[in-house]
Amino acid sequence: MLRPCVIYGGAPTKNQREQLEMGCDILIATPGRLMDFMQNVNLLSFSRLKFTVIDEADELLSTGWEEAMEKLFQGSDQNTDADHTYLMFSATFPKPARRLAKEYMDDECVRIKVGRVGSTHQNITQQVIFAEESAKSQALLDLIFSEGPQRTLVFTNSKVKCDMVDDYLYNKGLPVTSIHSDRTQREREDALRSFRTGRCPILVATGVTARGLDVANVKHVINYDLPSTMHDGITEYIHRIGRTARIGNEGKATSFYNDRNEDIGPDLCKILIESKQSIPDFLQEHMPEDPTTIDWHDGTDDESDDSLGGGLGGGFGGDAGGFDADAGFGGESAADTGFGGDGGGFGDGGFSADADDKVAACTALVQIPRFVPLSILHVTSPKGPHPFLVSLPSRRGNLIYIYVFVPPKPVDLEGNGDQDRKETGEWRVPVVLDFHGGGFIMGSPLEQAPYASMMSRELGAVVISVSYRIGPFHQFPAAIHDAEDVLSAILDTSGVSKAGKVLREEIQRYYSIVQSDALEKKKEHTAPHLEHCKTITLDPTRLAISGFSAGGNIALNMAISVPPCPELGMSTTFGPQSRTHGPAPADTMSPRLPENRRATILDDPFESWPCLLPPPQAQPRMLPLLLFYPSLDARLLPHERPMKPLPNALRPDDHHKQKPKAPGLFSIMGPTYLPRKLRPHPRASPGLNDPAHIQKNAAILLVLPEKDSLAVQSDVWVDKMNNNDWNGPVHFGDGREGDWDGHHGGQAGSSNVPSTKNGGMEVWHAPGCRHGWTQFPDTFVPQHERNERELVFARTLDFVKDNWKKELLVERRQLGNQIQELRPLSIPNSNE
């Protein structure tokens, strides 16, 4: 078996020296570090070297590298035997580089070409978009969103521009990283690893990365800046776009062009003509007089000895996008030879080119990295819709990342049918606000992509899944604050707040892109709403809130934290609301909207914060609250919870207590978000609140798997809710009938008639199911859990639809949370 070894600049030499001392059959190196080790012939000897391979030969044989290459070729310990072979590879091989290569190659060397040297592969779809400098950032954002989730490489011409684009995309909530020569070797490796594994599927880079970078499944290359003729021009362009469509695959290259790129215009037209791409109107002035006969003026295809001043040029010409060339990346200046890194497979087990496929199969995705790879969506929710990212500004100055699922078509629950949409030109969509699980220390909205996609598709609703702040970097009540801010943005129907405006603008922009794309590619059956509706509008009169595990805690918090709704003047003016008492204006723990927001029934007269009720123009409706195995009582850590099956339900006679578990990850890391002294807080443990404090217009569906450590606290909570007239139907996954506590013979507690004071609570028991079974891909779920999930999701849809149809008969002044002391989310002082 061959033993490889890698040495490169920017990394400690100790480990590399130890690897060399063990001997190797193949040495992969950057020039600077190789010359350092060549000084010690006892460590690195070329006396038995058989093959010297120079990748990206046109770059290494260009001006600035002559001294380094001369030392490498003429080292004192070189093998001068006839069996020593030099091989040179490059996608482009201009005349100056071949002339220099001639000095190191035999006269009888062989040159192999694949197509015209310097051409582009026809598997790359190239498009050029006119974009002024000031409009490039927005054009880039629109382009990325229009293409959907995929591995994308963005090129700029300078390090400053690279950082600027990286910051812009990151602040827009996109999973992005960047790389250039000012980054340390460790930073470069981390960026490449994130890009390869799909954790950050967008990489912004300077042209230096175009050389030798080979990453599987790069679908889109974007030239944010086109290279100028002073910096290799069309040669650099060819190397850049060659990062996609590799090894027979297909890819896309998009370039932004404006008046600053006039110098590359003629060569760009030639490349587009040669590869049979369309020429945009703004490039027509650069078209050659005779497109059938193109003179490249670079001597790349000139094989005569005269063209090189005698002798045949050496090396192998490769087609851009064909060979799997991975020679590494050096600095952006000739002097930066010692700090180049290798883009190949090394470090921490290697940068496996197919790592994204392995990541896509993961089911436990920890959110300590910034983002989860979007590639998981194609495994967990192949039907779609798939989400796009939006970053909402919060009242505390941080950004809240949300994953937005826009439905592919309307679902007419009642009214607002095709005819109404045609007349108004508006598509009003319901909203589902969802919170993922993970014990406040891990998790990602993308874990719930199957659920979110299903809800969006079947309800015709926009599903907003919140990536709230978690431990160990954030403490309680960071997650609650983020949830309240997103809820505020949803209910800010006029878009007065910045978050409300951003949310609506981004959803509208996404819809406009989908609409224009569908109309341009108009098929025989185009969805009517795409033809008639220019705007998409969030409809908070149909709002549902759902949460899984810790997310269920947050979902219940949203029902508890909303303000009371006493009589409120229905003035249509934009004047500020009066404040007679309530939280002080300086209370940063209490959320508020701008004081000039229009006063509606949504508002608390004592605190400008919307509650879960529709605008005054619409009849108030029931709020479906979907709690999947929620964390209701945070006083006990996971290993401290009593372990026994659900009593009086699935196993009414089983009171056996299992041994407590040893502390695990959640018990160890949980206090980083929720310290012990805060766990009894009514917002940290919402299940401890009086049932009367929960929204009176809420209807609760509680889903409980049998094999769940949260079962006992859920049991206690349901009994308490039922004793306060929240009792409703109870379902058992095995088909039996009965109520929660078993004392009514399956009669009273199973009533389908909710309480007149609230929407009631429906409980679904899932026998033999595990915590989180609703989120696992089918491959990892036993058949009985899959069947149970289908039943639960079907009931969830019906539950939401049924409650959205209900019009509340109670007086509006009786709606909402009437408990004023629950409004401020204040944290006890350390001395309390």
Q: What is the CATH number of domain 385-562+612-810?
A: 3.40.50.1820
DSSP string, 192-233: HHHHHHTSS-EEEEEGGGGTT---TTEEEEEESSPPPGGGTH
Domain ranges of the chain: 124-302, 385-562+612-810
Gyration radius of the chain over CA positions: 32
Other Cβ atoms within 10 Å of 94 Cβ, number = 20
Rounded CA separation 778/503 (Å): 33
Beta-sheet pairing, 151-156 with 535-548? unpaired
Evaluated on CA atoms 814, 817, 821, 823, the torsion sign reads: negative
Q: How far apart are the first and last CA of the chain?
A: 67
C-alpha closest to that of 726 among 593, 597, 556, 612:
556
Give phi and psi for 275, each to the nearest 5. -95, 10
Q: Which residues of the chain have pLDDT under 70?
A: 1, 62-66, 74-82, 91-92, 114-119, 208-212, 292-382, 396, 414-416, 522-526, 561-620, 639-665, 734-757, 777, 807-832
- What is residue 564's DSSP assignment? B
Which residues pair with residue 176 across a beta bridge? 202
Q: Which helix (H) or strand (E) holds 257?
A: strand 251-257
Tell me how far apart the alpha carbons of residues 483 and 694 are, in angstroms, rounded to a whole number. 17
Asked if 569 and 599 count as a contact pair (C-beta separation under 8 A), the reply is yes
Strand pairing category for 51-54 and 761-770? unpaired
Task: Match 């070729």 to its residue by tokens.
Answer: 73
Does the structural domain 124-302 have CATH classification 3.40.50.300?
yes
The residue type found at 220 is H
Peptide bond into 291 cis (omega under 30): no
pLDDT given at position 34: 84
3-state secondary structure 261-322: HHHHHHHHHHHHHHCCCCCCHHHHHHCCCCCCCCCCCCCCCCCCCHHHCCCCCCCEECCECC
Cα 766 to Cα 784: distance, rounded to the nearest angstrom: 10
**Are 119 and 273 contacting, i.e. CB atoms less than 8 angstroms apart?**
no
Q: Which of 572, 598, 608 is CA-nearest to residue 484? A: 608
Check for a shared fold between 124-302 and 385-562+612-810.
yes
* CB-CB contact of 318 with 324 (8 Å): no
Quote the pLDDT of residue 357.
Answer: 31
